[in-house]
Structure 1
């Protein structure tokens, strides 16, 4: 005996965002403030402590303020924008997509304006094999996050397809996850 069941679903099926979709909003400018944040020195960074400058500490303290205030909001905006572009078959000219791109790229630019001087202020050193490293814990993660967000922003401004900007966004998420999991900003 074969049984068949039919379910009646209320409402139309669609791929459009539901009511929980949040339109991107401009993010405020982050203004660094004095805090009691101090860098961490887990092994092997405890061996490099003497190479960490006051400029490194200030730069990472201020980047942590941005990270805690806006990283996850910006990440969510980029994810939702990518989903919108995909739902519109990569058409940046589709209704409402251009406005979203403008808001998200402005937010990325604002983040880059904040992060760039701080990421570039981090001490970069070279070991005996010529490999570059950052003496301050998670300095490489902040530097990588800044670089990849720049790539994502440039790709979105050029209206590149999501498969083009996707790898840079994935790397930005990698660096953001590394910062979060390290607890360096807590």
Structure 2
């Protein structure tokens, strides 16, 4: 959070909402959003797909007409793709250009192809703008018990992913 706040202060200035045109000047904020989507995608499974023909993938035969579910939650935690996959490391996206708009299959929180989420353009803009504004407008801290014990990052699985224990954070004006 300190790195993202420092970047915002340097590029945007203190206590100012960011403009959509400024998102491109905030590579660390973009990396934080990508890393968040990698570890905590909005939904763990993409919409079901249907195999158009019998095909073989990694030694498995997928028969024609099979319903295929893509587990993007597991892709985001695959040690063959991501070094230290359980660790929150936004810097990985500063050294490796990965797009989450459906072009790079290792990071597809909104899906890809014809079934990509129609709300993706709005979500991408809003997540960057809201996160950047909240970080730039407030100084955030945790309640004392969370400072001592740490934040529980356990998730409840369902159609969407939610934290098992809701996060509590304390905002203070900068």
Q: With structure 1 as the length reference, what TM-score do the two structures score?
A: 0.25
Structure of higher CA gyration radius: 1
> Higher helix proportion, which one?
1
Q: With structure 2 as the length reference, what TM-score do the two structures score?
A: 0.27
> Higher strand proportion, which one?
2
